[in-house]
Structure 1
Amino acid sequence: MTFTRRQILVGLAGLGVVGLGVGGARYWLGRPQDVASHDYELIAAPLDVELVAGHKTPAWAYGGQAPGLELRARQGERLRVRFINHLEVPTTIHWHGIRLPLAMDGVPYVSQLPVLPGEYFDYDFIVHDAGSFWYHPHTASAEQLGRGLVGPLIVEEREPSGFQHERTLSLKSWHVDKQGAFTDFSVPREAARGGTPGVLSTVNGEHAPTLELPAGQIVRLRILNLDNTLTYRLNLSGGEARIYALDGNPVVPRPLGKDYW
């Protein structure tokens, strides 16, 4: 067996980057056959999505959907994800808001080398804090996030929270035209303001969805802004809403009010 300089350098850093053929790709997140090495497999690959009715948009997806599949772990436990790159460009995964070793942070040429097409990388770290987080690349970020490489990461409390019902709402604005083709992912003049808005917004990958909730029950809504540039003003009308946490950190519960930026 021979090793490239790239593999040797990564091996010395304790990181697993190994060549992988693209045949037989599984476009989903699931338990691997060998659970001794990792808990989950997460594949980045092209995916045509219908954001504009009757037109296909060439998105990039984690686990066969955009935004990517929801990952879950419990506070204090290890999260082991084998990331497989089936794109035609290098990429990484950055775990946004998670306290972890630098080697697992997913910043190319700072904490790791980019994961090249056909390679995989094993991310392995303890999740110390409970909360609502997300994952995305730090390689050509505006474009890769803009094409759909974003996903939620939920770290459940070590002890039960008391919430019996919850939903994760992943907000994303898409930069597409009327035929579903991508437009500029970031406009400098807009980026200096509230961000570059797209013409189409989605919640969990669907435009203006209807969310079914149990009647008369308290439901925890985990609201995540997975956009590449944009900020939002939230308005939850028609019901009582309270804020229990911000950026994954618990706060003294308070009313949401008329709106929240």
Structure 2
Amino acid sequence: MSFTRRQILTGIAGLAVVGLGAGGASRYWMGRRESQAGSDFVLIAAPLDIELVSGHKTPAWAFGGSAPGTELRVRQGEWLRLRFINQLPVETTIHWHGIRLPLEMDGVPHVSQLPVKPGEYFDYKFRVPDAGSYWYHPHVSSSEELGRGLVGPLIVEEREPTGFAHERTVSLKSWHVDEVGAFTEFSVLREAAREGTAGRLSTLNGVPQAVIELPAGQI
């Protein structure tokens, strides 16, 4: 789920319905004035039931109402301003994987920021210097929170057109679920020390056994 800056400014009063305290921004904005935190996006982390195994629901956690989460796009050199709202039953953050940014925006709990508690929010604001395909995810209880679906793509577009006629974002995810869609152990120590703990089911853009169809001759 994402909104433009104009939509946020016209609907900011509606944020009260998610239980945001009047002092929430000052607590999590590391002493910066709230007026500096004008957001281009609002991103909500919340529980979401998804169907990974046919006929069964999996109690996932998701950014923006989908798993993988909302695709965020910004142009190289521009500012990304995002209000992150936590509607999960646990603390969390957002880490911007691979992005060069100020430490206080890096999403590492108790190092660069306090964890965002349930019902609270954090304003992220940073300039994205490098074009590329990146992803965002939590750094709180990472194996479980990522395992439950909290991942999403961040695309930083080139300053100049690339010349490609088509562009498609492909998000691959391994899920730790059993035959009825219930979560299994997210990390097994012996496997984690090697290549990582693989799940039994994989998805492409959230769809098991997905197929991407292209016209003949298209690359």
Q: Given the two structures, how large is their TM-score scaled by the length of structure 1?
A: 0.72
Alignment correspondent of 1:194:
195
Q: Is the 8 A contact 1:203 1:209 kept in 2?
A: yes
Tell me the SS of whatever aligns to 1:167.
coil
Alignment correspondent of 2:179:
178
Tell me the SS of whatever aligns to 1:190.
helix
Tell me the SS of whatever aligns to 1:173.
strand
Higher strand share: 1
Q: Is the 8 A contact 2:45 2:87 kept in 1?
A: yes
Change (3 A) 1:178 1:169: same
Q: Is the 8 A contact 1:173 1:202 kept in 2?
A: yes
Deviation for aligned residue 1:213? 2.3
Higher helix share: 2
Q: Return the structure number with greater relative CO, CA threshold 8 A, min gap 6.
A: 2
* AA in 1 matched with 2:100: R
Query: In the aligned structure 1, how far is the partner of 2:213 from the partner of 2:51?
Result: 23
Deviation for aligned residue 1:11? 4.6
Identity of aligned residues (%): 71
Please tell me the root mean square deviation across aligned C-alpha atoms, in Å: 1.9
Alignment correspondent of 1:99:
100
Q: Given the two structures, how large is their TM-score scaled by the length of structure 2?
A: 0.85
Residue 132 of structure 2 is aligned to residue 117 of structure 1? no
Tell me the SS of whatever aligns to 1:45.
strand
Residue 59 of structure 2 is aligned to residue 41 of structure 1? no
* AA in 2 matched with 1:107: V
Tell me the SS of whatever aligns to 2:191.
helix
Q: Is the 8 A contact 1:70 1:153 kept in 2?
A: yes
Alignment correspondent of 2:212:
211
Query: In the aligned structure 1, how far is the partner of 2:144 from the partner of 2:99?
Result: 23
Alignment correspondent of 1:88:
89
Query: In the aligned structure 1, how far is the partner of 2:113 from the partner of 2:207?
Result: 34
Deviation for aligned residue 1:179? 1.1
Alignment correspondent of 1:132:
133
Q: Is the 8 A contact 2:138 2:150 kept in 1?
A: yes
